[in-house]
Chains A and B, each alone.
Chain A
Amino acid sequence: MSENQIRLGVDIGGTFTDVVLETPDNSYSTKVLTTYAAPEDAILTGIDKVCSLGGVNPASVEQMIHGTTLATNALIERRGAKTALVTTSGFRDVMEMRTESRFEQYDLNLTLPTPLLPRNRRYVLPERMDARGEVLIPLERPAIEQLADELAAANYESIAIGLLHSYVNDAHEKMIRDVFTERMPEVMLSLSSEVSPQMREYERFNTTVANAYIKPLMKSYLSRLEGRLRESGITCPVFLMHSGGGIISLENAAEFPVRLVESGPAGGAVFAADVAARHGLENVLSFDMGGTTAKICLIKNQTPKTARVFEVARTYRFKKGSGMPISIPVIDMVEIGAGGGSLAHVDAMNQIRVGPESAGSEPGPACYGRGGKHAAVTDADLTLGKLDPDNFAGGTIPLNKADSEAALQCDIGSQLGMDANESAWGVAEVVDENMANAARVHAVENGEDLSQYTMIAFGGAAPLHAARLCQKLGIERCLVPQGAGVGSAIGFLRAPFSFESNRTVFMKLTAFEPERIKQLFTEMEEEATTFVRACDATADILKDHKIYMRYAGQGWEIPVPLTTDEARTPNVDTYTERFETTYRTLFGRSVEGMEIEVTVWSVNAYTTPLASEKLLQQPAPENVQTQTTRALFDSATGKSIDAAVHSRTALAAGNQVAGPAIITEDETTVIVPSDRFARVLTDNTVEVAVKGESR
């Protein structure tokens, strides 16, 4: 990647398709409505717009990076292809039986999520490997041939192949692929040993089926997109953002489309990581709050944290366990049902509850005046004075404060004996507390202390709530970057080409096998490098090595990073020491006399990200005043105060305003409480920090 290129970042979201054009000296962005029937239409409209804004000939675009919710939506809305699963005899129902538990303990009328494939699309073959990868029942070719004919007769478009213990030995899965390819060359195949070679059959099979299910759709979309771009004279290579925060080639994306799930939020995390790099921040909490959900992610050393499994399409109040697990490398974030549209009510204990039900954009919060009668977070924000009714979304959506107050009075106040203002305070406090709790739990699970963190807030609703969240979390400093409204698309342009390769191989440190480890890492390095090489023929490729370790007998592995040297010349004492140090950081103490084992091995190969422009020295702060004020309710003290209202466009680098203050812009509003001040930095980021802090 060169910094002097003309590049496009394109993010297809649920409502809007965001397009960002970057030229060597400038950047242009636009939002167009997503066109569901043919998503490529919105992309081309958006590209036309930004190209004419920037005076750029589309033919001169040198690279396009694309991320999309299409894969996620196809899974949520069940719009995939006619797909079959072929699995080991005796295990037809793994994806239906899940963990055999109820994700909500007290609901007698609980409905479990429907498996992606009904039972009659799940087929079995007699074969069996054991946990060491040794064959217990050999797989016979005639049985595969017979099944191939049956599947061909049923006209499946796509087939997932998932056998027990194939993460150790993939021979049988490959044998099935060979016969199927001979017999029905037009059918798309997905092997569990390739899509997600990790132990735990439910997660692996489900991931493989999800891949197979959306493969025809994504393949066809991507090839249509390529065609339409060519017609418009855009002949540059197109790359895809994946859920792990890196970029892969269009061909690889079409082969493993499940890796595109949640690529939009991943772009947001990369965006925050780039802001972190620009500001030289080591510990960052990224906070992305939109209309329906809030996403929280930890970014250490300018790299978002990653995980190996996550859940998509939760069917029950965002509850853990109510969706389907996808085990692929993914940026680790918590997503909760808390956004501007989240609805509030009072429950049986007279407790205020907020979300996950959302008013969405139609009918929207009560104040939109589009038929929404119930109180949403935006109604509370308006009532508390955080929003200007005449200048919401650049004045395009006029807000009615009386409607907000009526809804709050009706849904909250009448039951708790509160007025509208106090109801609004309660709603705002509860939603902020929910987000703060999610952030705290996430931090504790990762052994981190948030008081050492800086928050980076983006997404339409985040800057309204960020400062209060900081107060609750003990965070002293928050940055609201420019371009927050199209953060994901900008993030795509900051992402490296990358691919993470994972293997499950159990190894106790008492039976340490240096040669085997070397071989394993060599294989994985090769695999990951090949993927990255497909995107960029010349760039330097860096590799991060990581192993997942635990005390033998525990069920949760913790990720332990290794240096390249440690990976290539494995030493048992080093591995032990690395594990114990990491364990102590997380849980306070290591456990004496317990055997340690490695379960998963991982190599992430990536190109060097574009060097983020480090900020110039900040100009001397200059306090600015304004005559415009508005009544703002201060949640921390429970009092209404007069806040100065500034327009962000009127503030220049170095300008500083003392809280209480409100900084308005088209896409959002930054709230500065009384204990904090705001300052505009040279990259037009607004910094909100505790008074008396000097940095």
Chain B
Amino acid sequence: MNQISQVAYQVMWNRLISVVEEQAQALVRTAFSTSVREAGDLSAGVYNDQGEMLAQAVTGTPGHVNAMADAVGHFIRRIGRDNMYEGDVYITNDPWEGTGHLHDITVVTPSFYQSQLIGFFACTAHIVDIGGRGFGADANSVYEEGLYIPIMKFAERGSVDQTLIKLIRGNVREPDQLVGDVYALETCNEVGHRRLIDMLSEFNLSNLDGISRFIMENSRAATLARINALTPGTADGHMRIDGYTNPIDLHVKLSIEQDRMHCDWEGTSGLDKKGINVPLVYTKAYTCYALKCAIAPDIPNNAASLAPFEITAPENSIVNAVHPAPVALRHVIGHMVPDTVYDALDKLLPNTVPAEGAGSLCNFQVSLRPRSDEDAPEDAVRSEVLTFNSGGSGARPTLDGMNATAFPSGVMTMPVEATEQVGPVIIWRKELRQDSGGGGQYRGGLGQHMEVGAREGHEFDIQAMFDRVDHPARGRRGGHNGAPTTIAQDDGTPMQGKGKQFVPHGRKVIMAFPGGAGYGEPASRSKQQVCSDLANGYISKQMAIDTYGLSSAEASDVLQRSKNGDSI
């Protein structure tokens, strides 16, 4: 490679990353599902003609990382190169060849320049409904989870397959929304393609070969340098979580070797009967994400930077579910993968990874309808409302955990005022949960309280998707556990952490989402930080005394000063 082209390649790599960010932005702007437009549950990427990913937008979903990297290869294989034409658009929601459940639609568009196939654009979005039983864990097989779209052409030479559109429309609860989202996906690839062509003509190139090589060589070298700087070794990680009916054990063996890191999930529990099973591609994504955060956070995702991370799992374990296992809520288990990996990595690479956190997002869907026990008011309506919420993240080796902040997922919550505009739901409470962060030299992040009801005249089903009811986040190096999830109705009626449950007229659901665990002995926490936590109500007086050894008199003094609005 000569020197002149090196500067040009520098510029082009930058440009490709900007192209995919723009592609993702176009999707957010045009999407209909709240999960995409408010929460950012999507991804977008550009590929060379071999289907190798060159750049991926940094969006809210690590779960799409490897899935996206692999997806285009499946499309090339299924569609066939000879069968690809300008103006084609391909689609699938295959959990095993896409991104892990039927609710993610992946759209791939071949990019032609001067009549040659030079690469691909792909994007994925989480849509709110795909028919079937609805978004939840209750299905017994993938057939019950909704409409399945195999890898196929959505459009050929610019003409959209109207039969497919009719099939989609006839099988989902919100057909306008879904078809609108598919067009949004198609539009965003088109935006990316146009920008890529601009770049090629500006640099007077006819294909992506040179820039592909440049990206791959540099990314591979950078990733291997990071891996080879670590001390080789092997360690086991384990975490037990709630599961649906029976607890689930996640086991991983992590080895650091020359030029590669390997994670094997041997020993992990088998499939669950309900829809919380995880296709391997999703397990790979979160395993890889956890490792990259710890050792190579600044290296962008592409085929070469992901390749040195090898992930295997026994078939029909819960982290390698094969067809036709139900997989709709694969995120509940998948979000627990990083904490399990860190249990192992901490033994090889101390002082790097956080203590366990809330892990999976604390999402729920509410299906509201006019009350059935008595006459409902005339303006009572039916409505589906999905919300994304977060517990606390685990404390870090030198920092507290983050309060009510998602990890490993990166999606956003929806504003309460926006949620209440969608349907007759009332969120009565959404605020930080005192004492839920595990004690430690560094405190776990706080979880949150939420209380949900319906407007007068409505009753509802709540579809719960919570873990850590029986298995709270565990502390590291003497740090204490975070608080567990709790859920009940306001009259004390107990509720389950997972599954669809009826809530009668006038009742509210009272939820408390889990806190992150602490790091290091609480006795080592600075008194200043303990007092500040107490003043801000992150911890109670009782916890300040019991866990951190503050004297009762000191605690009372802090509370008095806090009442005066002093900063402490």
Which A residues lie at the B interface, using CB under 8 A?
A: 82, 84, 90-94, 96-97, 99-102, 105-112, 118-121, 128, 130-131, 136, 150, 153-156, 164-165, 167, 199-202, 347-352, 416, 418, 422, 425-426, 429-430, 433-434, 437, 440-441, 444-445, 472, 506, 551, 553-556, 586-589, 591, 593-594, 638
Contact = CB atoms under 8 A, between A and B. Distances in A.
8 contacts: A120-B565, A130-B420, A349-B222, A349-B299, A434-B14, A445-B29, A472-B202, A553-B180
B67 to A, nearest CB: 16
Contacts of B37: 554-556
B222 A348 contact: yes
A105 B61 CA distance: 9
Contacts of A202: 415
Contacts of A94: 430-431
B417 A164 contact: yes
B479 to A, nearest CB: 16
Nearest to A112: B402
A544 B565 CA distance: 44
B463 interface: no
Given A100-B388, A100-B406, A555-B418, 17 more contacts: A82-B565, A84-B565, A94-B430, A96-B403, A97-B430, A100-B390, A101-B411, A106-B293, A108-B293, A128-B428, A164-B417, A200-B417, A201-B416, A433-B11, A445-B25, A554-B31, A554-B37
A352 B10 contact: yes
For the complex of A and B, the 10 pairs showing the least CB-CB separation, nearest first, are: A555-B37, A90-B429, A106-B297, A119-B536, A154-B565, A99-B412, A437-B18, A131-B420, A100-B413, A348-B222
Given A349-B219, A426-B10, A554-B32, A105 B417 contact: no
B299 to A, nearest CB: 6
Given A102-B406, A120-B535, A199 B18 contact: no
Interface residues of B, number: 95
B154 to A, nearest CB: 15
B30 A554 contact: yes
Nearest to A198: B417
Given A91-B416, A154-B564, A350 B222 contact: yes
Nearest to A472: B202
A108 B294 contact: yes
Contact of B183 (A429, A556, A591): A591
B451 A90 contact: yes
B501 interface: no
B85 interface: no
B58 A105 contact: yes
Nearest to A588: B187
Nearest to A418: B3
B293 A112 contact: no
A320 B293 CA distance: 20
A318 to B, nearest CB: 14
B565 A101 contact: no
A445 B412 CA distance: 21
Contacts of A201: 415-417
B298 interface: yes
A164 B416 contact: yes
A351 B13 CA distance: 9
B399 A109 contact: yes
Contacts of B33: 553
Interface in B2-30: 3-4, 6-7, 10-11, 13-15, 18, 21-22, 25-26, 28-30
A105 B298 CA distance: 10
Nearest to B40: A101
A426 B7 contact: yes
Nearest to A108: B293
Nearest to B425: A131
A102 B410 contact: yes
A263 to B, nearest CB: 28
Contacts of A96: 403, 432
Contacts of B4: 638
Contact of A105 (B62, B352, B418, B426): B62
B420 A121 contact: no
B537 A440 contact: no
Contacts of B417: 131, 164-165, 167, 199-201
B38 A555 contact: yes
B10 A429 contact: yes
B536 A101 contact: no
Interface of A is mostly: loop
B413 A99 contact: yes
A352 B40 CA distance: 29
A352 B13 CA distance: 11
B211 interface: no
Contacts of A84: 565
Given A433-B11, A506-B421, A100 B412 contact: yes
A106 B451 CA distance: 32
A627 B41 CA distance: 61
Contacts of A586: 29
B432 A444 contact: no
A154 B426 CA distance: 33
B404 interface: yes
A640 to B, nearest CB: 13
Given A100-B404, A155-B564, A93 B296 contact: no
Given A97-B432, A131-B417, A164-B417, A109 B398 contact: yes
Nearest to A101: B412
Given A199-B418, A554-B32, A556-B37, A93 B432 contact: yes
Interface string B181-203: 00100010011000100000010
B205 interface: no
A101 B403 contact: no
B328 to A, nearest CB: 22
A45 B300 CA distance: 51
Contacts of B222: 348-350
B441 interface: no
B428 A110 contact: no
Contacts of A425: 7
B398 A136 contact: no
A433 B298 contact: no
B218 interface: yes
A588 B190 CA distance: 10
A108 B353 contact: yes
A100 B390 CA distance: 6
Nearest to B379: A132
Interface hub of B190, B195, B428 (most chain A Cβ within 10 A): B428
B458 interface: no
B3 A101 contact: no
B11 A121 contact: no
Contacts of A429: 7, 10-11
Interface string B511-523: 0000000000000
Most chain B C-beta atoms within 10 Å of own C-beta, residue among A93, A111, A156, A586: A93
Q: Which of B11, B18, B299, B388 has most A Cβ within 10 Å? A: B11
Contacts of B202: 472
B34 interface: yes
A101 B389 CA distance: 10
Contacts of A551: 32, 180
Nearest to A199: B417
B428 A593 contact: no
Contact of B406 (A90, A101, A199): A101
A430 B17 CA distance: 13
Contacts of B399: 109, 111
A97 B14 CA distance: 33
B402 A348 contact: no
Contacts of A430: 10-11, 14
Nearest to A120: B562
Contacts of B566: 120
Interface in B198-254: 202, 218-219, 221-222, 225-226
Given A91-B416, A106-B297, A422 B7 contact: yes
B478 to A, nearest CB: 20
A504 to B, nearest CB: 9
B354 interface: yes
